[in-house]
Structure 1
């Protein structure tokens, strides 16, 4: 059976961890700490003394330099770690705890932290190789020179980090980072563009009889569904599997995750184990297959910005702009078929697809409930719905966007009391087709 869920989850955890890249850099420092003294012993000392920019001091000077660099690097690493924790606390309070993964995935912070740890570890490894008292016996000149270079790089990393951490907690930078992740997720999950005809293939199928219910063996969020593994299980056991759990949903132990036809089988336990293994659960949601999760991160930022305690409609408007970018991108993409077929074109796996209407419900409705009297927020919502409707290739998507736009217009008209705001709202809704029975229509 495929191990894709485990591999994908491990890769995602690695990308979202603060330790992996620094760990690799520390490993590189270990290797360099072994190779540098070996190179020093193989290269004649006279050549090194004549080489420019190579350390030419005595053992005492080498020890002093390495000890100073090591002490400085571990001290700065502690400061960097403390500043990172403070940044995470600010991000959690201002933007929401689910956005912490965006900061943890920041390669800049990981490289800075790794540089200081690697330099400290390298110096600690080089120090014991110095052998000398009153008579100079061995000084790892190449090793000390590399340590000085690493110290200079560390100083540059510190300057970069101070600038980077100040910019990374800026609202626009966070919104842009989540927006870029949304674009990447859409490109990965919906890579194919629709043609001008605008119709997806309809692969409806009918299942007869009562199914065998496959229950979850643990509680957690559905992080990944391995379609290839399910197809392999269904083909080997001559089954049809309908996955009823959706990516991003929370299942409680004992809830149904899949239904299987036919129900009368002798190897029920084996089938259930293989299906449950293909549906990966976790303690939190990820963007591996969960487009809604990234949309909801932007929605959470916008809702927090609109709360009475913050009252920042500008940040909410920027989040809406990024949501609109994702919607416009999504309505032009072909939705993957919910059906998986074997080599004989027999339907083996049926999944619950995510539709544009689902995304509109999660991305638009919460913002409409919190927009209040902020005209810019209402206008932003109408603008992205208009843009999405104009770009939509599927008639159903276009109708959904226009339907939400009408609801937004009606809710906004009731929320806005200023006549000037209502006039601007009416101008923004000019793109909506008027019903035939509307007496104000042309």
Structure 2
């Protein structure tokens, strides 16, 4: 277990107050889950860069013509002839590079989906180095094509209007940047094809979600008062990805009510089912709650506290399947499950409160409680761990570590899983010596 990362995460969680969520945070996260946005922005940026550099090249030629320096213009024309051949080569080569990047990405995604879990594909979609590399490659390709259009076929220096000198220099610099990014991209993709780095990435994403959770609990949801109205879901059916908390808090403040989110992040919702209950008055106008609830086809990390544990559990279950039979990978997943649970053991879970600027409670959001998270992390792995002493030993060591950290009121689910694991091993392993060996706690499994 990484003590440094646990301490860092615990300090971040402990020192946090109930912060006001940023309005654009859901939009930013949704854009990070796409591939098209960054390359599109890069193409627009390449067009703007070409326009600015073309204007500068035109002004340079115009200034030299005004000064009557025909020799300098002829020198520029000679340089432009050499640069044109280089730019033509760049334009054709960049399409090959783009194809290579796309092919590597597809192979990496296919391997990750087949070997680890289909849910880890999202890590590759969100990969910054992949998006930056593809963006720069496409921008370089477009910039090279636009630069070729700037070369003037006029041979008379007195009639020449522009020599794409700055454009050619920028195109070559973009090629150099593309080559450096390609090296970084290959290195990053190879790392992401290794299970250790995938598990570490999932754990870090999970910690970011935990850090963003407000640490303030409503005293009791019963104190919200009687339910006065409900707000139903009118969009498409799908998984509740996230809620625009700032928009919901603002709508509740304007109406003078408290909203309680009924489904948890990650639940599947269908049209017509209630998503908010209203306490203290009439429901806010439908327009004020527009785009508050985001529904998609799969869960995301953005506000889903249990999604990281779900992925780690899936990786461990696949590793323990008879077709794979890789208990070491399951132990690596258990390392991170224990690490995540250890980092959040002292902090409130359940129904979280969000307040407005004046400190009034406006939104109550349900998140998994401690028991639900412990069950998510251990229940399914425990059922498949029998016959793999490496896994049972690591799970016992992890449960013992969590028992030493957990307060009294949170020890029950840990003790329950420990007892069930012991009972399962004693019932399934016939040899007494093997039972003793399988039930000996070991942080390395078999270390």
2:410 match = 397
Q: CA deviation at 1:206?
A: 4.5
Alpha-carbon separation, structure 1, partners of 2:44 and 2:82: 27
Equivalent residue, structure 2, for 1:77: 98
Residues of 2 paired with 1:398 and 1:278: CA distance?
37
Contact 1:69 1:123 in 2 (8 A): yes
8 Å CA contact 2:238–2:295 kept in 1: the answer is: yes
Please say if residues 227 and 277 of structure 2, whose CA atoms lie closer than 8 Å, have aligned partners that are also in contact.
no
Q: Does the aligned pair in 1 maintain the 2:241–2:266 contact within 8 Å?
A: yes
2:10 is matched with none
Aligned residue runs from structure 1 range 297-316, under 5 A: 297-316=311-330
Q: Are positions 1:169 and 2:193 aligned together?
A: yes
User: Is residue 217 from structure 1 mapped to residue 234 from structure 2 by the alignment?
Assistant: yes
Taking only aligned residues, the RMSD between alpha carbons, in angstroms, comes to: 3.3
My pick for the range that moved more, 205-214 or 242-251, is 205-214
2:179: which partner in 1? 155
| Aligned CA distance change for structure 1 residues 182 and 241 (closer, same or farther; 3 Å) | closer
Matched, 1:323 2:337: yes
Could you say which residue in structure 2 is the equivalent of 1:196? none
Q: Deviations over 1:151-202 (max 9, x none)?
A: 222223333333332222111121111111112211222569xxxxxxx884
Structure 1: which 5+ runs fail to align? 193-199, 430-442
* Separation in 2, partners of 1:239, 1:314: 52
TM-score normalised to the size of structure 2? Answer: 0.81
Between the aligned partners of 2:389 and 2:150, the Cα distance in structure 1 is 69
Task: Tell me the residue number matched to 1:37.
Answer: 54
From 253, 264, 277, give the equivalent of 1:246: 264
Residue in structure 1 matched with residue 352 of structure 2 by the alignment: 338
Matched, 1:381 2:395: yes
Q: Residue 281 of structure 1 corresponds to which residue in structure 2?
A: 295
Question: Which of 4, 9, 27 is the aligned partner of 2:44?
Answer: 27
Q: Shift of residue 370 of structure 1?
A: 1.9
Could you tell me how far apart the structure 2 residues matched to 1:208 and 1:135 are?
Answer: 85
Quote the residue 2:134 is aligned against.
113
Q: Tell me, in whole angstroms, the C-alpha distance in 2 between the residues paired with 1:377 and 1:235.
A: 50
Deviation at 1:105, TM superposition (A): 0.8
d(CA) in 2 for partners of 1:130, 1:165: 38
Q: Give the direction of change, closer, same or farther, for the CA distance of 1:124–1:204 in structure 2 (3 Å limit).
A: closer
Alpha-carbon distance change, 207 to 117 in structure 1, aligned in 2, over 3 angstroms: closer
Which residue of 1 is the match for residue 437 of structure 2? 424
**8 Å contact 2:309–2:337 — kept in the other structure?**
yes
Report if aligned partners of 2:252, 2:258 keep a CA contact under 8 Å in 1. yes
Question: Is the contact made by 1:5 and 1:278 (CA closer than 8 Å) also made in structure 2?
Answer: no
**1:389–1:399 Cα contact (<8 Å) kept:** no
The 1-side partners of 2:174 and 2:359 are apart by: 59
The residue number in structure 2 matching 1:366 is 380
CA contact (8 A) 1:190 1:336 kept: no
Distance 1:409 1:86 in 2: 41
Whether the 8 Å CA contact 1:409–1:425 is kept in 2: the answer is: no
Distance apart, 1:272 and its partner CA: 6.1
Corresponding residue for residue 408 of structure 1: 421
Q: Distance in 1 between matches of 2:215 and 2:154?
A: 67
How far the C-alpha of 1:261 sits from its partner, in A, is 4.4
Question: Which structure 2 residue ranges, 5 or more long, are not aligned?
Answer: 1-20, 443-447
Equivalent residues, number:
411
Shift in Å, 1:296? 0.4
Contact 1:239 1:261 in 2 (8 A): yes
- Structure 1 residues 225 and 143: CA distance shift in structure 2, 3 A: closer
